[in-house]
Chain A
Amino acid sequence: GAVVSQHPSRVICKSGTSVKIECRSLDFQATTMFWYRQFPKQSLMLMATSNEGSKATYEQGVEKDKFLINHASLTLSTLTVTSAHPEDSSFYICSATGASYNEQFFGPGTRLTVL
């Protein structure tokens, strides 16, 4: 159990466009989902924490208007990178925890390339 999926796995977009990334918990209800960003050869940096039905809590330095997070159901959270720029290119990974799990389970990640 405890499978988290992410879609798309890779996306290439033009500068100025918006990109939506979906994160789904497939076999459990995710009360909390986390969004991370990872640069090459670096650790995971938490961007925001989202709880179902409430506004996301953003980490210091993360622009909430730039990275829109919606956690509309117990199995789905979305991250929208608005007006993407080349510096937004990165590996974005979501994770989820649930009432049944104290651990955090990760999705496979989304590689975003902004041209």
Chain B
Amino acid sequence: GQQLNQSPQSMFIQEGEDVSMNCTSSSIFNTWLWYKQEPGEGPVLLIALYKAGELTSNGRLTAQFGITRKDSFLNISASIPSDVGIYFCAGHGTYKYIFGTGTRLKVLA
């Protein structure tokens, strides 16, 4: 199936550092969603974006809907060990959601 390009694929960071990841697509999306998935569990919605240019925060997380509607980024500030997991972006097209390839985050205490 179709997937979004998400980068980086994985990253190790020190506790307290800021993290940035992004998704790009060749298609325009109307909605961008960011999820976090922990091992053996379903993805949990972190942030939803509905308008081009929109910048939304949820605690230490900030995400933006790109002006071109073909990209989005997620920032995590002052990372903590419990931020570990896989982060997925998802773009909503005509009738379904397309998921990114995921960013695996590991935080070193």
Contacts and interface: CB of A to CB of B under 8 A. Distances in A.
B1 A59 contact: yes
A104 B90 contact: yes
A49 B48 contact: no
Interface of B is mostly: strand
Contacts, number: 54
Contact of B42 (A45, A59, A103, A107): A107
Contacts of A45: 1
A49 B96 contact: yes
B3 A43 contact: yes
A106 B35 contact: yes
Given A46-B97, A102-B50, A104-B33, A93 B1 contact: no
15 contacts: A34-B96, A42-B102, A45-B1, A46-B99, A49-B95, A91-B40, A102-B31, A102-B50, A103-B33, A103-B48, A104-B33, A104-B90, A106-B44, A107-B42, A109-B40
